[in-house]
Structure formats: C-alpha cells, structure tokens
Structure 1
Amino acid sequence: MEAASLKLGLIGNCAVSALIDDRARVVWACAPRFDGDPVFNALIDSPEGIGPDGTFQIMLEDFSHSEQEYRHGTAVLRTRLYDLHGNAIEIVDFMPRFFLYDRPFRPEMLVRRIRPLQGHPRIRVVLRPVIQWGSAQPSRTRGSNHLRFVGPDFTIRLTTNAPLTYVHDETPFALDMPMSFIFGPDETLDRAVEDAARTLEEKTVNYWRDWTRRLAIPLEWQEAVIRAAITLKLCLFEETGAIVAAMTTSIPEAPGTQRNWDYRYCWLRDAFFVVRALNSLSETGTMEDYLRWLRNVVAQSHDGHVQPLYGIGLESKLTEYMIPHLRGYRGMGPVRVGNQAFEHFQHDVYGNIVLGSAQAFFDHRLHQRAGADEFALLERAGERAFAIHDQPDASMWELRTRSRVHTSSVLMNWAACDRLAKIALQLKLPERATTWRERADLIKRKILDNAWSEQRQAFVESFGGKDLDASVLLMAEVGFIDPRDPRFVSTVDALEATLCDGPYMRRYEAPDDFGKPETSFNICAFWRIDALARIGRVDQAREIFEALLASRNHLGLLSEDTHPVTGELWGNFPQTYSMVGIINGAMRLSKAWDTKI
C-alpha cells in the first residue's frame, strides 16, 4: 500500500477548502470552516496508505497512472486517471466562487465532474465522510437522486446524476457519459445536476481568471507566482478577514519527531507576510479583508496584550488537545487540535500588527484608506511594543520551555515604532512622529549594541547570546539596516556556513524542546535569497531560488519544511509562509519587463 504524501492539490473558495491527492482522492476537508471538524480526514489517519474511510474517491479499475494539473490561472483542479488497458477518465474538482447579486458566492460545496476520456472505463465511487474527528460516520438517507449524510451538527447532501444505487453500495460500473457530484448544503437543485455543475464550473473559472489577470506579476516565473497567489488567496477566510497559516493539522515537521501542530488559525505574523506579498502583486483586496479582522483584534485587547494567534472567528482561547484514536500522518502521531501558542508572549506580534496595516495609510487605491481612528488603534499596539521591547519572550519560533530577549522580537518592536513615525508624518502629526522616531532610534541602538556577537561576527538570536538564527535576516527586509553594511554581510556569511544545506536553510542552530531541527524551514531559505539579492549576490540568489522551485510538489505547492537529504515535503500544507517566499523571491529577482519587450 502506498504511503500518504503531500502530493496534494488545494481547492477552495475562501470559506471552505479540500486537499486532493494525485489519484483524485479527497483526503482532507473541514466543515463548516477551515478549523472545523474534518469531514474527510484520511490524510492524518493513514499509517500505511490512504484507505476508503474519511475520503471521497472516484476509483478507476486496474489503475495504472495519473496526470494532474490546475486549469491555468484558476483554483480548478483536473486529474486524469489511466488504467492498464488504455481506458481513461478525467475528474474536475472545485469549490464554487464567483459574484452573485454583487456579493461573493462561496457555498460550503464541493463539485466533482467526471467524464470518460478514452475506451470503456469502469469506476467505483467511494464516499465515506466522518464526524467527531473520525470517531464516527454520519447516518445516511436516500432520496430520488441524492444521498443525505446526517451528523449531530450538520446535514450534507450529495446530488448526482450517477446511478445512486451504485454510489450508495460502492458498486463498480461503466462510465459511459459525463457525471457530476455536488456535495454540499442540504438543498434541492433548481436545475439538472449536469447543467448546474457545468454552470458553477464556468462561473468559477471566469472568476479566477479575472482575478489573476489583474495581478501585477513579474516577467520571470509567472506560473509559480500565479499559483502561489491563488493559494494564498484560498487561505483567506473571507467572512471575517482572517488568514490561516495552513489548511492542516499535525503533519510532522520531520519524520517521527512529534513536531506536530495545528496551523488552521490566524497568526498575525504569517498574515502580515501574506498581505505584503499579495500587495506586491497589486492584490490589495486581501489586505482590506484582513484589516477588518485585525482592527477587531486590537480593539478587543483592552489591557494592551495581543496574542500571537487567534481563531478565524476571533476566538482567543485555542486550548490544545490530542485525538488519541487518530493514527496520524503515516502513523506519526500525535494529532493535535488547538495550539498552545495562544498562551505565549511573542513580542514581535505588535510589529506585525503595524506592518500589516501601514500600507492602508498611503495607498490611494483603497476604498477606505486608514486615518486618525485607525492610527489611534495602532498606537495602542505601538505603546505595548515599546513597553516590552527589551523583555524576554517565546520568540517567533514559539519556544515552549525557553524565554529570552530575542533579536527578531525586538526588531519587530523597532519596526512598529518606525512605521508609526512614518504614518504620523503622513497624517501631519509631527509631535507623534517625533515621539515614535525617538523610540525607534532608542530600540535600534539597543539592537546594535546587544545583538551583535564579536565572537560569531554576526547578529545572534538573543541579546548577549551566541547562537545563530535565520530570523535576523529580516533586518534588511524591514529596513532596519543597509544590506551592504559589513555587519549584515558577515551575518549572512555566518548563517550560510552554519544553517544551510545547499539551497535549504534551518531555522536555528541551538536545540529546542525537541532537539536540533532536522528539516529546512522553507521561508528561511527564501529570506536568505532576499538577503543575497540585496547584498548584490544576485546570481547565487537566482540559483537557490530555482532549486527551491524545483522542490515544490507537482502542482507548484509547498509545505512548511523540506528534508535536505530526501527533498521530501514535511510540515503543514500548504504553508502560507512558504508560498509567500515564492512571490517575494520572484519579485526580487525577476528581470524587468522592458528587457524582453
């Protein structure tokens, strides 16, 4: 039996999503939103391979091989399955998304369309949703052309023009005509199934193509950037504006390490990087949605403290617990729900709040530019950033048993004060600008005095420390230091010598709660690319960037980590941090359009 893998495609509509493997098996989907109970959970209950429970499969008899791709510029996935006898079928998967009555139409719905491509293929439909984290299956009832799956908290309907008896009994049958499966709300369709599915597909394709054609993409690596942009957009929970870090929980960062976490929540740090990457492509709609969510986060933090992450509905308590009956990805448990990091003090969060909001004060394209009221809210975050800028925290790496004054956290506190000074000038508030500039300068002096190690000839991970950490590469990215400053150049050299395995880069050298990291953290490798390009080592940066692109899966997606020896993807999937790196790298390194035309 083949092992589970991250050879997966993501489909979604900014309300719900699903992961589909290269044999067109739906192996992960949660309801009623990204952080809900999985309806399909085979991805994390598969020690030896993906079985039929917790999946939605269109199985081709005597399967031989498959091909899979996205329809260009869309979130519509197309899989072709071939058998040993020359027969073939095509499966098109998507979640409807388009505008209806001037509002986003994004139902909790999965549409699967299949058609014979050649020969006389025989298929078997296996639809086995689960409830209560896979501990039970919903009850089934049958209608004239639909099946209803009833759980304690929901009812889902499958409407199809396939023979319902064959679907219900999982009986193999000949596919001699196109068939569609609409899996979603318990509502009667107002037209024939095939007609409804075709219309939904056409409108969804048109939506995504209209969306992507408005992107300001670079000359080079266009397909990679478009795919990364669509993936980031799919991680937006549009109803509230929250952006999840990844769609999954408990995919190990490295094999057998128990570094298994739930990433289906909104980290302010990750969301800032997503917003900035999409802004660089002139896709400001996501920023506007996110700022709605962020304003609510800041407004509800009456004591000034802001958590590093929240639920996508602004939930502040994300108690972490394990699901003992699930075996985990490739049997590598535990499976966790919730994330203990909501209890952490991670002081970089205040800088991420201000950085994520700053463009809204300057961008004339926005429907609602930020003004004095929004500035007052940001100043609350800034006051907190300044008050705690030299206090120990858990760092951006969310260390659970160690607290220090981490350089990356102080750096982001500086960024909060620096950007507030610039915003104040934009708003013609010179006294506030002076206050924030003085505070930024004070923090900068502390970083330069306390984070530099003469012994390592590098900026190190904490004040007075000695260990190297890739997060200091952000010094150039946020404008703290001239990238050609000898201290920054020396830091890059030291990090390359200590943390890099070819094109890959680990987060830090010191052991953490689980020992020394084994896999490359993908965003760190992209930070390295940015630093090299800023220093002037563009050829080296381009070479590394091409190597990282080659490590993506067959559909152009990345997870959190890559194993430097096997090249296999590990960690939660798809990881927004990693997809951000693709966009940032391409925008930094691409030749200008006028070099070609």
Structure 2
Amino acid sequence: MAKRYPNISDHGVIGDLQTAALVSTDGTIDWFCSPRFDAPSIFGSLLDADKGGYFRVRPVGAEYVTRQLYLPDTAILITRFLTDGGVGEVIDFMPVAEGPATDRHAIVRMVRVVRGEMTFEGEIQPRFDYGRAPHKLEPSGPGAKFVSGDLTLTLHRVGDPIIHGDQRAGRVEVVDGGVRVTITLQAGELTGVMLESGDVEARQISEDELIETFLATRRYWRAWVDRSTYTGRWREMVARSAITLKLMTYAPTGALVAAPTTGLPEQVGGERNWDYRYTWIRDASFSVYALLSLGYSEEAEAFVSWLLDRIHEQVGADAAPLRIMYRVDGSADLDETILDELSGYRKSKPVRVGNGASDQLQLDIFGEAMDSIHLADTHGVELSHAGWMKVRSMLDWLCDHWDTPEEGIWETRGGPQKFTYGRFMSWVALDRGIRLAEAHGRPASFTRWMHERDRIYERIMETGFNHVRQAFVQHEGSDVLDASLLRMPLLGYVTSRDPMWMSTLEAIDEQLVSDSLVYRYDPSAAPDGLAGSEGTFTLCSFWYVDALARSGRLDEARLVFEKMLTYANHLGLYAEEIGLTGEQLGNFPQAFSHLALINAAVNLDYQLDHGSGYVEPVLRRGRRID
C-alpha cells in the first residue's frame, strides 16, 4: 500500500529530455518539475507528503502487491498491480521533446487490466512552486485546467466515459483543488490521461492516438539504444545506465544534470541535502568517456560544444575561466536558498534550492574538461580555431593558479586546502593540452605548459604522498585517504604497478572499503564543515573496480563489480550513495553513478578479454605468498 515517504530506491524515472518525473512503486508521481529540470516542482510530495503535491493512480477496494519494470530498451515505465481478482498496469512515459526548449511537456498515464477486473483511483493534486503558490481548477472541454500565475497544467482524457458500451462510467470528484477519478476496468480494457504543461484546450484523446503516442515513444528509445556499440558482458545494465544518462540530458543544449531531484538526503534526517538539478563540469565531462565508449558521438559532441561556450564567461580579470556548475541553459544564477515551507524527505532538513558550492574554486574541473576534449578529439570531434583559443587561454590561467588552495572535488565546506586531486587533475589538463597542440600543430605556450606540468608532478610526489601512511593523501600536510585518487592510474599519472600506487591501493582497501562499498573519505579524520555522516559513494566503488583491474586483481575486480550490481534498485537505478544495509541515499537517479558503471564495465570487459599480463600475489589486504 502507499507510503507517505517511499524509499528513495522505490522509484523509476521517466522524461522527455528537457525534464523528468519520478514514479514510485505504488503508482504515484511524487516529483515533477516543469518546464525543465531546474524549474520549481509541481508534484513534490517526495519532499513534503502534505504540501508537495502528487499524481497517484492505484487500485482501490482490494489489497494488492506491486511490481515495476521498464519496457525493454526504453524509458517507458510499467507499474503492475496484482490482486486476487485481477492484474492491472499503469504505463507511464513522456513523449520525447528533442528540439528547441519548450514549455509544453506531457505525462501520459495509460491504465489497463490484463486479467480479471480492477477498480482504479486516479488523483491529481498539483502544488505549484514547491507548494508555495496557489492555483485554480478550471473546467475545460472534456478535461480540466490547473492554473497558477502564468503556469497551466491541462488534463486531457482518453476515450469515452462509457467504456466499450458498458455503463461503468468513471466517477469524477473535485477534492482540495484537485481531481479524483474512480473507474472499473475488465481484462482487455484500456483508458488513461495525458497531463500537459501549457495553456491549451483540454480534449478527448482516442485510444488509437494514445497507442500511437506510446509506439512513437517506444520507437525513439529503441532506435537510440540500437545505436550503442557495446557488446560486452553487462549489456542490460549498461543499456539501462545509458538510457538513464540520456534522460538526464537537456536536449536543447546537450548539458547533463547531476540528478533530476533536490533535497534527497545523504543521511536520512540529516542536513546533507543538496540541489543536483544542474550541470557540473566534472560530471558531464566524465559522461564524454561513457558516451564515446558506447558509440554516442553526437551526444559527446553536443556537450563539448556546450563546454566550450562556458569557458571565459566569468567576469573579472582574475576570475577562473570555468565555474564548477551551471544551469542547463548555461546561465550561472545558482544562489542557494532554503525552502522552510517543506518538511523534507522523512524530516531531512533543510530543503535547498540552488547550490552554494557554485562559487567554489575546484581546480580538478580543468583536468576533467581537458581530458574530455582530448578524448573527443581522438574520436573525430575536433576543436575549431576559436575553441582552441579558449582552451589555450584557460591553460595559461591554470599555469598561474594550480597551487591555489581550493575546495576540492567533494565540495566540502570546511575551508580551502591544497588538494592532491586538484593538483593531479591540473597535471592532466596541461598534459592533454600539450598533446592536442602537438597533434594538430596548434599555437601553444609549450615551454610554460611543460614546465608547470612537471612542477605539479614533482610537487605531488613531494607533498601529496605520505610516507608514514605509504599512500597518496587528500591534501598537503594530511594523512587522510581520498577515493578520488583511485583515478591516478586511469589517467596516466602513475602506472598501476608503481609501488607507491600499490601501497596507496592497499591503504584504501584497509580504510575506505567496506566489502565492495567505498567511502569517498573519512569525515571523522577530515572534518568537512557539515554535521552527520554519509553512506558509501557508488561512483567511488566503480572507480575501485577499475583500479583493481588495472592492478592485476581481475578476479577481485569482477566480484566487486558484480556485487555492486546487486545494490541497484529493482529497475537498475542508483542514487548517489549506498548505506551499509544497502539503502539508496541522496539524489536519485545520479548521473555520476551510472556513468561510472558504464566506464567500469567497458574497462573491465577490456581487461578480462585481453588479460592483465600480471597476477597479483595477494590473498587479502597485504597478505602475500612469496
């Protein structure tokens, strides 16, 4: 039966490439923003069951159990309800909006019975502007309109109220400014609604039109999935992750949001609740590797174009040439505010809108940006002259600033440090810039770039490696381990068999790994300015898989990867974090988690197919057989 606050994992996601909605296993849409990902919510009961608003479809009059699945190779979600008297399904999807940005978006909810008889109740209770704005319910043709200021939701009805000649007409009620419909269906019967954002006249949609809309959406997703070149061992999980990333891509610009939600907690009841409905340079840059590895060069090219448009948009003589995050349209107004009106997911407050980390300096983003640009170049996505001029200027700026204290990849709020990962990724940025310039004969400050690249390398070796811990550590003067450094061998800073790296991996094994789950760092050892604790980071766990494989521990890498697949929800989706009992934590679904899964699967496939050429003489954590 319905829960006031379903588990974060008890959701699927649907979308149209400009916005998205979450659908719980009990048939409730409890999160939906329109007209795009970062707009205020219209359905937000996930963050406040009383004030947030919802769109629920469920059986009434009988106890039921639910099952949820995606139509294979699509973003069409099927929620099944099973009772003694019948089996019914709610089929949810959003027709794809690939073109320019639009305010018109539609959620289609098809309801059918496949066995026996079932009575369904559908209730629409929108709450505009995160539940803060009032609205009016207005009759419109065969449907209705919900009007709040300049925003309108229009409800279109499917079919005739007299179903196939039977006199079981649906009962319609107005409840608390919303609409409740009760209708009984028998096996083979179909009905539904379309909820459209936009001020249009409500109309009656025929079953044929409904089915054709469904078939068109199915054709789109299957054609997109068929473009994938991945033929490895984990096709189903990789395809689901790719679809999920596509759902979180804003088609008009090619920008990828970190997640379609805000406020879902990293610790239930705690304060680590952030707004992730924006495009992080870091996350989206990682997606280039994932997309290109699956053959999606158009999507990768779209992001690289978006990225180049962002370079040097900041104002000020000494301003960094890139911010760490932007809205999907490229704007940078991300001021963080708190929605005091909302109680939060299971009383997890505050509920934040915007992101106060947007003004932080995080030097690693330059390495991630340059690595993605370089990788795209190797796949034929080459820079124009104007694009190269922006890159060259950015790298010149980095030469002057790589040694600046910064906030780091994890966006801690405990004050700036000289983070090892930021320096390491600054090394990557200059290294990739040098390679690009040499490959294409582009003008560059070669002597300066090479000199600063080498200085960074030597500084990390001098101050980033703690000889007592025998490990690379979080920042200069620290002995704290950091899972971001698992990327060192992947990006070529150290070889995967270097003794300094092998001892670092062993130290991470001992302190940050819990079975297959990996913490990003130990907050008790490195205070991050926030109260409470957090779960393990799914991203880091997949990075760990790659590090194990590259270090010759292939059997262990494969086992860890397979264990990680068991932590996905019933649909193959991941939040940002996983608790020690397997619960999903944080915003959902999380792009970082899914792109890391794809990258780990592709890299592990390669290692398993080609062999590492090395057998690690380790039974477990430092115990060796001579």
TM-score normalized by structure 1? 0.93
Q: Secondary structure at the match of 1:330?
A: helix
- Equivalent residue in structure 2 for 1:567, among 564, 582, 589: 582
Pair 1:27-2:30 in alignment:
yes
Structure 1 residues 428 and 591 mapped into 2: Cα distance closer, same or farther (>3 Å)?
A: closer
User: 2:496·2:547 contact (CA, 8 Å) conserved in 1?
Assistant: yes
Q: Offset of 1:390 from its aligned partner?
A: 1.2
User: 1:218·1:592 contact (CA, 8 Å) conserved in 2?
Assistant: no
Listed one character per residue, the Cα deviations across residues 430-467 of structure 1 (whole Å, up to 9, x for unaligned) are 76445433332221111111101101000001123211
Listed one character per residue, the Cα deviations across residues 91-132 of structure 1 (whole Å, up to 9, x for unaligned) are 1111112779xx899951111111111112111110111112
- Unmatched tracts of structure 2, length 5 or more: 162-169, 611-626
Residue 379 of structure 2: aligned partner: 363
Q: Secondary structure at the match of 1:125?
A: strand
Cα distance in 2 between the residues matched to 1:238 and 1:58: 29
Q: Secondary structure at the match of 2:92?
A: strand
Cα distance in 1 between the residues matched to 2:607 and 2:276: 36
Q: How does 1:100-179 map to 2 (within 5 A)?
A: 107-161=104-158, 163=161, 166=172, 168=174, 170-176=180-186, 177-179=189-191
Pair 1:590-2:614 in alignment:
no
Give 2:13's aligned amino acid. Answer: L
Q: How does 1:469-488 map to 2 (within 5 A)?
A: 469-488=482-501
Structure 1 residues 53 and 253 mapped into 2: Cα distance closer, same or farther (>3 Å)?
A: closer
Residue 92 of structure 2: aligned partner: 93
Pair 1:8-2:20 in alignment:
no
Cα distance in 1 between the residues matched to 2:273 and 2:330: 23
- Equivalent residue in structure 1 for 2:391, among 355, 374, 378: 378
Residue 81 of structure 1: aligned partner: 81
Q: How does 1:225-244 map to 2 (within 5 A)?
A: 225-244=238-257
Structure 1 residues 246 and 400 mapped into 2: Cα distance closer, same or farther (>3 Å)?
A: same
Cα distance in 1 between the residues matched to 2:277 and 2:150: 20
Cα distance in 2 between the residues matched to 1:258 and 1:99: 36
User: 1:508·1:517 contact (CA, 8 Å) conserved in 2?
Assistant: no
User: 2:121·2:183 contact (CA, 8 Å) conserved in 1?
Assistant: yes
Q: Offset of 1:53 from its aligned partner?
A: 5.9
Q: Offset of 1:512 from its aligned partner?
A: 1.8
Residue 204 of structure 1: aligned partner: 217
Give 2:144's aligned amino acid. Answer: L
Cα distance in 1 between the residues matched to 2:260 and 2:88: 28
Pair 1:551-2:567 in alignment:
yes
Cα distance in 1 between the residues matched to 2:95 and 2:130: 25
Residue 182 of structure 1: aligned partner: 194
Structure 1 residues 130 and 254 mapped into 2: Cα distance closer, same or farther (>3 Å)?
A: same
- Equivalent residue in structure 2 for 1:341, among 332, 352, 357: 357
Pair 1:400-2:413 in alignment:
yes
Cα distance in 2 between the residues matched to 1:481 and 1:199: 54
Cα distance in 2 between the residues matched to 1:98 and 1:33: 11
Structure 1 residues 419 and 119 mapped into 2: Cα distance closer, same or farther (>3 Å)?
A: same
- Equivalent residue in structure 1 for 2:544, among 528, 534, 542: 528
Listed one character per residue, the Cα deviations across residues 258-301 of structure 1 (whole Å, up to 9, x for unaligned) are 11111111110111112211111111222222123212211413
Residue 166 of structure 2: aligned partner: none
Cα distance in 1 between the residues matched to 2:98 and 2:516: 42
Identify the range of structure 1 (297-306 vs 393-402) with the bigger mean alpha-carbon deviation. Answer: 297-306
Pair 1:580-2:592 in alignment:
no
User: 1:276·1:356 contact (CA, 8 Å) conserved in 2?
Assistant: yes
User: 2:157·2:205 contact (CA, 8 Å) conserved in 1?
Assistant: no
Cα distance in 1 between the residues matched to 2:443 and 2:367: 21
Cα distance in 1 between the residues matched to 2:415 and 2:608: 48
Give 2:593's aligned amino acid. Answer: S
Residue 618 of structure 2: aligned partner: none
Q: Secondary structure at the match of 1:126?
A: strand
Q: Secondary structure at the match of 2:489?
A: helix
Residue 64 of structure 2: aligned partner: 64
Residue 261 of structure 1: aligned partner: 274
Q: How does 1:372-451 map to 2 (within 5 A)?
A: 372-429=385-442, 432-451=445-464
Q: Offset of 1:352 from its aligned partner?
A: 2.2
Cα distance in 1 between the residues matched to 2:185 and 2:139: 22
Identify the range of structure 1 (223-232 vs 154-163) with the bigger mean alpha-carbon deviation. Answer: 154-163
Residue 616 of structure 2: aligned partner: none
- Unmatched tracts of structure 1, length 5 or more: none
User: 1:124·1:172 contact (CA, 8 Å) conserved in 2?
Assistant: yes
Pair 1:44-2:37 in alignment:
no
Structure 1 residues 137 and 262 mapped into 2: Cα distance closer, same or farther (>3 Å)?
A: same
Cα distance in 1 between the residues matched to 2:571 and 2:469: 40
- Equivalent residue in structure 1 for 2:366, among 325, 350, 358: 350
User: 2:140·2:201 contact (CA, 8 Å) conserved in 1?
Assistant: no
Q: How many residues align?
A: 584
Residue 17 of structure 1: aligned partner: 20
Listed one character per residue, the Cα deviations across residues 222-251 of structure 1 (whole Å, up to 9, x for unaligned) are 110000000011111111222111111111
Q: Secondary structure at the match of 2:13?
A: strand
Cα distance in 2 between the residues matched to 1:153 and 1:489: 60
User: 2:17·2:98 contact (CA, 8 Å) conserved in 1?
Assistant: no
Identify the range of structure 1 (147-156 vs 349-358) with the bigger mean alpha-carbon deviation. Answer: 349-358
Q: Offset of 1:170 from its aligned partner?
A: 1.9
Give 1:66's aligned amino acid. Answer: T
Give 2:152's aligned amino acid. Answer: T
Residue 620 of structure 2: aligned partner: none
Q: Offset of 1:86 from its aligned partner?
A: 2.3
Give 2:271's aligned amino acid. Answer: Q
User: 1:60·1:82 contact (CA, 8 Å) conserved in 2?
Assistant: no
User: 2:51·2:342 contact (CA, 8 Å) conserved in 1?
Assistant: no
Q: Secondary structure at the match of 1:317?
A: coil
User: 2:156·2:203 contact (CA, 8 Å) conserved in 1?
Assistant: no
Residue 252 of structure 1: aligned partner: 265
Cα distance in 1 between the residues matched to 2:181 and 2:603: 53
User: 2:133·2:148 contact (CA, 8 Å) conserved in 1?
Assistant: no
Q: Offset of 1:15 from its aligned partner?
A: 0.8
Q: Secondary structure at the match of 1:172?
A: strand
Q: Secondary structure at the match of 2:195?
A: strand
Structure 1 residues 540 and 249 mapped into 2: Cα distance closer, same or farther (>3 Å)?
A: same
Q: Secondary structure at the match of 2:588?
A: coil
Pair 1:308-2:324 in alignment:
yes
Q: Secondary structure at the match of 2:539?
A: helix
User: 2:95·2:213 contact (CA, 8 Å) conserved in 1?
Assistant: yes
Q: Secondary structure at the match of 2:284?
A: helix
Q: Secondary structure at the match of 2:113?
A: strand
User: 2:549·2:607 contact (CA, 8 Å) conserved in 1?
Assistant: no
Residue 213 of structure 1: aligned partner: 226
Q: How does 1:487-498 map to 2 (within 5 A)?
A: 487-498=500-511
User: 1:57·1:126 contact (CA, 8 Å) conserved in 2?
Assistant: yes
Q: Secondary structure at the match of 2:358?
A: helix
Q: Identity rate of aligned residues, in percent? A: 33
Q: Secondary structure at the match of 1:393?
A: coil
Identify the range of structure 1 (33-42 vs 161-170) with the bigger mean alpha-carbon deviation. Answer: 161-170
Cα distance in 2 between the residues matched to 1:74 and 1:106: 24
Give 1:113's aligned amino acid. Answer: M
Structure 1 residues 265 and 395 mapped into 2: Cα distance closer, same or farther (>3 Å)?
A: same
Cα distance in 2 between the residues matched to 1:252 and 1:410: 30
Structure 1 residues 429 and 291 mapped into 2: Cα distance closer, same or farther (>3 Å)?
A: closer
